[in-house]
Every structure is written in C-alpha cells, then in structure tokens.
Amino acid sequence: MSYANWKAGKKRQAHFLWKDIKDHKTCYFFLAPYAVIFSLFFIAPVIVSICYSFTYFNVLQPPRFIGLTNYINLILADDIFLTAVKNTFLIAAITGPVGYIMAFIFAWLIHELPRSIRAIAVLVFYAPTISGQVYLIWSIIFSGDSYGYFNAYMVEFGIMDNPVLWLTDPRYMMIIVIVVQLWLSLGAGFLSFIAGLNTIPADQYEAGYVDGIRNRWQELWYITLPNMKSMLMFGAVMAISQSFNTADVSMNLCGFPSTDYAAHTVVTHLIDYGQQRFEMGYASAIATVLFAVMYLCNKFIQKALMRLGT
C-alpha cells in the first residue's frame, strides 16, 4: 500500500514536471542557443579535464587511469605546491577584498561627479584593464638596474644609494605582484557597478530626500547599496576568479619560475606542469582543487551579500 502510494506520488510528480516543462516552452526556446554553445565549449571541456585529473596524461599517449594518485601526490609530496598555495592565499586575501571594495568605492565616487566628466573619469580608472598588456610597463618601472623608473628616481632624489632588484629579490616580489594586481582590479566588476549605479530609478532618491536622508553616506547605505545587490554579487564572483587566478602578472614581472618560487602561485604551478612538463593529469588535479576552493569561497560571500541592507 505504501509502495503503491509512493509510486502514484512519483507518477504525479513526473506528470507535474512534464506539465511545468511544457508550460515554459518559450523559456527553453530562448535559452537553447546559449545552452547548446555553452555546454559544448565551456561545460564539456571542464568535465573532460576533471576526468583527466584521475589519470596520467602526457598529451602524447592516451590518458591512463590512476585513481587519486595525482591528488595524493599534490597534497603530500609536492612542497612547491604548498608554497604556491601560501602565496595564492596571500594574494587572494589581499587583492580580492581590497580590489572589490576599491572597485565599488571608485565607481560610486565617479557617480558623484557631474555627468559631463563621468565618462572620462571611468576611462581613467579603467585604463589599466583596457590597455591589455600595458601592465608590462611595471617591469620597466621596477626594473632592477638604474634604468628602472623607480630606482632612477629614488637614486636621483637620494632616498636610496643603490638600485634594488625589485623583481628578483624574494623579499620584494610578492609586494610588487600584489600592488600590480590591485592596480588591475578595476575591471569587469568596476564597469558593472558603473552601469548599475546608472539604472537606480531617480524616484527612489527623490523619495529618499522626502523621507529625510540628509547626506551622501545615508543615501549610499539606505538606497544605493540595497539597489546594487545583484551587481555586487557579479562583482564578487569576478573578484574571486581574478584574485585566485593570478598568474600572468607573476610570470611576466618576476619570471617563470620566480626566484626561490617566491612569487609562485597555484596557477603558475599548474602552467608549469601542464605546459612545460606535459603532465596534464596532474595539472588538471591542481585546477580541480583550485576550483573547489573558489567555489566554497563564492558560496560564503554570496551568503554574506544576501544580508546586505537588511
């Protein structure tokens, strides 16, 4: 009897599900083009490379299943990975939150400017991102010889006696990577904040004046922030993926591999194994671990943002 009940319940459920799907025919029609391309070029490669992480795969021969060996080696036998994890966490813990808050503050301050100069102000702050590879000028600025701008000026003004090897001395490398990464952090999140601030309906602010909001801080807290919730969520995901994926800056400024692995990150470690040593299975295991950490971090931040303004 209970089994029959259960079976009938299942059948009814399936029936409702089917009806629900049929009712939303248009929705699936709208979603279809995106879903097909996305599954083919984004989901499928991710699933395949997660599968690679359980294999030995040297790109030339077909992958061979080796179970959890890659993960065990990664955690127990790879000292350099631990250095990379430490560096990545440090970079992410600083550039993630600071970059994120900075992006919002600058977007908000620019929004306070008169309308006529806003577009130019956005351009100025977005310059590092739109200029693509131009961050390489930091390697000229911090170049170790006296041709480096920073060394040249410091020596000229008598602040330092000798040029410092900013990019090859392990004591300074992480600081430089963090500074440059922060400088690059006004990217996608920043532009989405700018766009978001421009769509908050004016009547909400008007209602605010009537309700007795007296200064820009109150306006920010009671009107702007609650309205920006969905953009803030977008910015958070972008900040997480940018800060945990730090690699290009470290490789191009501090060398690859860097002195004593002092600026080695999880992603440079992954590139080392994937593209230099052709151990794709191992590299995929690194990618999967990094992905899991970012996923958990995102879960936590989205929960915190849900509470904003309540």
Partner 1 sequence: MKKIKAGRQPNRSRAGDVGVAIVLMIFGAFFAFPLVYAINAAFKPLNELFIYPPKLFVRNPTTDNFSDLFLLLNKQGVITFTRYMFNSLFVTTVGTAGHILIASMAAYVLAKYRFPGSRTFFAAVTVALMFTGYVTQIPGYLIMAKLGWTNTYWSLIIPAFASPMGLFLMKQFMESSIPDVLIEAAKIDGAKETKVFWSIVMPLVKPAILTLMIFSIQSLWNNAGTTYIYRDELKMLPFALQTVGAGGVARTGAASAATLFMMILPLTCFILAQSNIVETMASSGIKE
CA 228 to chain centre: 19
CA proximity to 188, closest of 225, 234, 146: 234
Q: CA-CA distances (angstroms) from residue 138 to 77, 162, 247, 272?
A: 35, 19, 15, 23
Q: Which of residues 60-119 bind partner 1 (CB under 8 A)?
A: 106, 109-110, 112-113, 115, 118-119
Cβ atoms of residues 151 and 140 within 8 Å: no
Q: In the complex with partner 1, which residue's Cβ is closer, 8 or 47? A: 47
Q: Which of residues 265-284 bind partner 1 (CB under 8 A)?
A: 267, 270-271, 274-275, 280, 283-284
Rounded-to-integer distance, Cα 240 and Cα 158, Å:
40
184 — phi, psi (to 5°)?
A: -90, 0
The piece of 74-82, 167-175, 210-218, 250-258 that touches partner 1 (CB under 8 A) is: 210-218
Give yes or no for residue 46 binding partner 1 (CB under 8 A): yes
Tokens 């990545």 — which residue? 88
Contacts of 200 by beta carbon, 8 Å cutoff, 6+ apart: 223, 224, 227, 228
89 bridge partner residues: none
64 — phi, psi (to 5°)?
A: -120, 130
Q: In the complex with partner 1, which residue's Cβ is closer, 94 or 152? A: 152
**One of 74, 99, 128, 139 touching partner 1 (CB under 8 A):** 128
Q: Which of residues 144-203 bind partner 1 (CB under 8 A)?
A: 146-147, 149, 152-153, 156, 183, 186, 188, 191-192, 194-196, 198-199, 201-203
Cβ atoms of residues 131 and 187 within 8 Å: no
Q: In the complex with partner 1, which residue's Cβ is closer, 206 or 260? A: 206
Residue 148: count other Cβ atoms within 10 Å of its Cβ: 22
Cβ atoms of residues 71 and 50 within 8 Å: no
HSE (CB half, 13 Å, CA atoms) of 296?
A: 5
x/- string (CB under 8 A) for partner 1, residues 25-44? -xxx-xx-xxx-xx-xxxxx
Q: In the complex with partner 1, which residue's Cβ is closer, 174 or 290? A: 290
Q: Which amino acid is at 2?
A: S
Q: In the complex with partner 1, which residue's Cβ is closer, 165 or 238? A: 238
Alpha helix segments (H runs only) across 198-258:
202-210, 216-219, 225-227, 229-244, 248-254
Give yes or no for residue 134 binding partner 1 (CB under 8 A): yes
Give yes or no for residue 300 binding partner 1 (CB under 8 A): no
Least spacing, CB of residue 272 vs partner 1, in Å: 10
Give yes or no for residue 308 binding partner 1 (CB under 8 A): no
**One of 132, 158, 162, 310 touching partner 1 (CB under 8 A):** 132
The residue count for binding partner 1 (CB under 8 A) is 106
Least spacing, CB of residue 3 vs partner 1, in Å: 26
Give yes or no for residue 244 binding partner 1 (CB under 8 A): yes
Cβ atoms of residues 63 and 55 within 8 Å: yes
Least spacing, CB of residue 287 vs partner 1, in Å: 4
Q: In the complex with partner 1, which residue's Cβ is closer, 140 or 260? A: 140
Give yes or no for residue 45 binding partner 1 (CB under 8 A): yes
Q: In the complex with partner 1, which residue's Cβ is closer, 97 or 170? A: 97
